[in-house]
Every structure is written in structure tokens, then in C-alpha cells.
A and B are shown apart, each in its own frame.
Chain A
Amino acid sequence: MNPTRRRRLMFVVILVIGVGAAVALALMAFRQNLMYYYTPSEVHAGKAPTNRSFRSGGLVKTGSVVREGDGVTVQFTITDTLQDMVVQYKGILPDLFREGQGIIANGTLGTNGVFTAKEVLAKHDENYMPPEVAASLKKAGAMPQHEMAREKAKP
């Protein structure tokens, strides 16, 4: 490789590495702000903002869904399998909302520890299978875990 090309190659390599390093540093500095939601464990640890609304996500705990008489107010518990959080919501739930489903609620945390949501979204996982396969896996107790149950393993 002749010197001119070697110089240009160095330019390209330094450009890519330099930009990569700069962006990596910036992303690490803003890591917390780039999180789409906080897990109940993070909320318990006091990492979530108290003065403004934020998102919290987890799995809807089995048997925790309570519907009020008016039909649109609902209370349920979300969990990341380590910590739980009670969520209150008035409005239309997504079709995928069910016990064991991953959901993300946007709202504020009250002083009583109850999270009042103004928006609830469903977060489905990356597993795709036909209904028959899902049924037989459920029977065998081998359903893959929702990714939100595995999140606690993250650093």
C-alpha cells in the first residue's frame, strides 16, 4: 500500500474510532436518561424521579388484577420478580394486557407507593409460536420466560 493510501486509511480508521469513542462516552454519561422505563427494583431503590412522571415496567403479577365497578378503573401489581409495585389505571388497556404479560405504565409514584398511570402499553417478548405449540409448552411448563423477568440479571 502506498503512503498516500496508507494515510487515507489511517484517516478512515481514526474517524470511525474517534466518533465511536465520543458517542460511547456521551451515551454512557446519559445512560439513565436513555432508559425507556424503570424496573420496580429501580423504583424501590429510589432511582426513579419523584417530581415528574416516568415509566415503569414489569410483568403483571398473576391474580393481582382487580377491576373496579365502573369497568374502566383497574388495579394490578407489576413485578420484575424481585420487587413489586402496585399500579392504578383508569382507561382502555391494550389488547395484549393480561396476567404474566410485560407492560409499561407511564405515570407518577404516590407517597403511598402506588403508581398512578395515565398510559399503559404492552411489551410483548421476542418469542413467536403457533397457539398449539404455546399450549403444549404451557402444559409441559416449558414456556420461555418473558424478557422482563430476565432483566434483573442485567448490570
Chain B
Amino acid sequence: MWVWFHKLGSPPYFYRFSTIVLPWLAVLTLILFSVGVVWGLYIAPSDYQQSETSRIMYVHVPASMFSMSIYMVMAMASAVTLIWRIKLADLVASASAPIGAAYTFIALITGSLWGRTMWGNTYWEWSDPRLMSELILFFLYLGYMALNSAYEDRRRAARAAAVLALVGVVNIPIIHYSVEWWTSLHQGSTTRGTQFAATIDPSMRYPLFVMMGAFAMLYAQLLLKYTRCLLLDGERNNAWVKEMVKQHAA
């Protein structure tokens, strides 16, 4: 396992590995999204209280969930960057930021529309802890991206941005527990470990799982693709890239 991880840290090996994995990921993402969208938006029953509006859940919940997971990936890759100075870890973190920002944006927008229809005459509540902490997450992603591109020197940029990513980790438990620590307009979490089964009917739970899988695979796919781009850009003067380009040209 560790040997494989070490190997994956080597740019040419990573490039070859991702070339093999990517088409499978693309197929898997496509299947999961097709099944999840049709199941969630057409086949699954609507909620007894919220009727058809509850279907926003199939986009909102996975997007919010992975907006946090992606941040954790980014933070862990940043820690590896700081401690072991593995170039690929920095690229994984850099590639995760815009994807995570996009997921957060989707979570905020779908949440706002859902809130407008269910909560009442409001798109946004400034003093709600859940809403605010998720908005801060969005700014953390943007801040990471800005800092990451603020230095000419790639290594300095990587280190500065990594420190910011690690500082922002504190926000993740805050988002998660905001609805329990404080009173909030946002409802408590449905996806709470073992209690998950009790709070959402199976007919809605399974399509939600499929959509979670779809969002996860989409992230994996985008992450690999973007990391490859950054890798080729950073290693363009290295032998293995030149060799590959020569082969392609021939």
C-alpha cells in the first residue's frame, strides 16, 4: 500500500496510472449521474411536507457534503506538501481548490433556492451559523486560489497556500456541527452516521446515495484531469514529458 503510494508520487507513474483510470472514471460518473438524476428527480417519491421541492436535496446534499470532503483532501495534500515537499501533493491541492469552490457555490445556490421556497420569504439569512460557515468555506477556497497564484516562485506559493489551507481546516467541524452547537434555521443533518436510516425513507435514501457517488466520481475525475494538466505544465522541461510528446508527434 505505502509502496504504491510512493510510486504514485512519481510524476511519470502518476501520469500513466491516471491515463488508465480516467476513462473508467468517466464511464462510472456518467452512469451514476444518469441513474441518480432519473431516480431522484422522476422515480423517487416527493416528501410529505416539502413535496417536489425536496428534490433539490439530490443536488444540494452531495454538493455540500463534498464541498467539505474536498477541503479535507486539499488540507491533507497541503500537509504532505509542507512536511514531505512532494510536488504531486501540491498539485493535488491546487487542483482541488477550484473544484471545491464550484461544489461550495452549487451548495450555496441550491440551498438559497431551497430556503426561499421552504423557509419563507428569504434567500439568505446573515446570522445563521450554517449558512455563514459554508460561505466562509467558499471564501477559503477563493483565498487559497488567490494566494496560490500570488507568488512567482511555485514552491513559495505552494507553502503559503498550504498554510492557509491548514488554518481553514478549523471551519470544517464548525460547518458540520453548526446545527448542533447553535440554534439554526437549517435543519439538523439527515446524514448522521447510524441515525441516517431513521431520518430518510429508503425510497429517497438510495437515489441520494447514487447522487453522492456521482458527485464523488465527478470530483475524482476532474481532480485527475486537472492534476495532469498542472503536472505537464510544471514538468514540461523534464525528460519523460519530452519523450512522451515525441512519441505523440511521431
B119 adjacent to A94 (CB under 8 Å): yes
Interface residues on A, range: 35 or more
Cα of A95 to Cα of B189 in the assembled complex, Å: 22
B residues 30-63 near A (Cβ < 8 Å) are 45-50, 54, 57
B185 adjacent to A125 (CB under 8 Å): no
A residues 124-144 near B (Cβ < 8 Å) are 124-135, 144
Of A16, A124, A134, chain B has the most CB atoms within 10 Å of the CB of A124
B163 adjacent to A15 (CB under 8 Å): yes
A130 adjacent to B45 (CB under 8 Å): yes
Cα of A34 to Cα of B183 in the assembled complex, Å: 8
Q: Which residues of B contact A (CB under 8 A)?
A: 45-50, 54, 57, 79, 82-84, 117-122, 125, 127-129, 163, 166-167, 169-170, 174, 181-185, 187-190, 198-201, 203-204
Cα of A129 to Cα of B190 in the assembled complex, Å: 12
Please name the residue on chain B nearest to A133 by beta carbon. Answer: B201
B169: which A residues are within 8 A, CB to CB? 16, 19-20
Cα of A120 to Cα of B120 in the assembled complex, Å: 7
B49: which A residues are within 8 A, CB to CB? 96, 124, 134
B54 adjacent to A121 (CB under 8 Å): no
Please name the residue on chain A nearest to B198 by beta carbon. Answer: A144
Contact of A19 among B125, B127, B170 (CB under 8 A): B170
B119 adjacent to A57 (CB under 8 Å): no
A residues 104-134 near B (Cβ < 8 Å) are 104, 119-134
Q: Does A37 count as interface, using CB distance less than 8 angstroms?
A: yes
Q: Does A39 count as interface, using CB distance less than 8 angstroms?
A: yes
A123: which B residues are within 8 A, CB to CB? 119, 185, 187
B166 adjacent to A15 (CB under 8 Å): yes
Given contacts A121-B120, A147-B188, 13 further A-B contacts (CB under 8 A): A5-B83, A15-B166, A27-B174, A36-B184, A95-B118, A96-B118, A119-B122, A122-B120, A127-B190, A127-B200, A128-B57, A131-B45, A132-B45
Known interface pairs A12-B166, A37-B183. Does A94 touch B83 (Cβ–Cβ under 8 Å)? no
Report the tally of A-B residue pairs with Cβ distances under 8 A. Answer: 124
Known interface pairs A12-B166, A16-B166. Does A35 touch B183 (Cβ–Cβ under 8 Å)? yes
Cα of A133 to Cα of B163 in the assembled complex, Å: 49
Please name the residue on chain B nearest to A130 by beta carbon. Answer: B45
Please name the residue on chain B nearest to A37 by beta carbon. Answer: B183
A residues 67-105 near B (Cβ < 8 Å) are 92-96, 104
Cα of A129 to Cα of B49 in the assembled complex, Å: 8
B127: which A residues are within 8 A, CB to CB? 36
Cα of A5 to Cα of B79 in the assembled complex, Å: 11
B82 adjacent to A8 (CB under 8 Å): yes
B45: which A residues are within 8 A, CB to CB? 130-132
A128 adjacent to B121 (CB under 8 Å): no
Contact of A129 among B117, B125, B187, B200 (CB under 8 A): B200
A104: which B residues are within 8 A, CB to CB? 185
Q: Does A66 count as interface, using CB distance less than 8 angstroms?
A: no
Contact of B199 among A27, A95, A127 (CB under 8 A): A127
Cα of A151 to Cα of B188 in the assembled complex, Å: 11
A122 adjacent to B201 (CB under 8 Å): no
Please name the residue on chain A nearest to B203 by beta carbon. Answer: A130
A9: which B residues are within 8 A, CB to CB? 83
Cα of A21 to Cα of B192 in the assembled complex, Å: 25
A132: which B residues are within 8 A, CB to CB? 45
B125 adjacent to A36 (CB under 8 Å): yes
B50: which A residues are within 8 A, CB to CB? 96, 124, 128
Contact of B170 among A23, A119, A133, A151 (CB under 8 A): A23
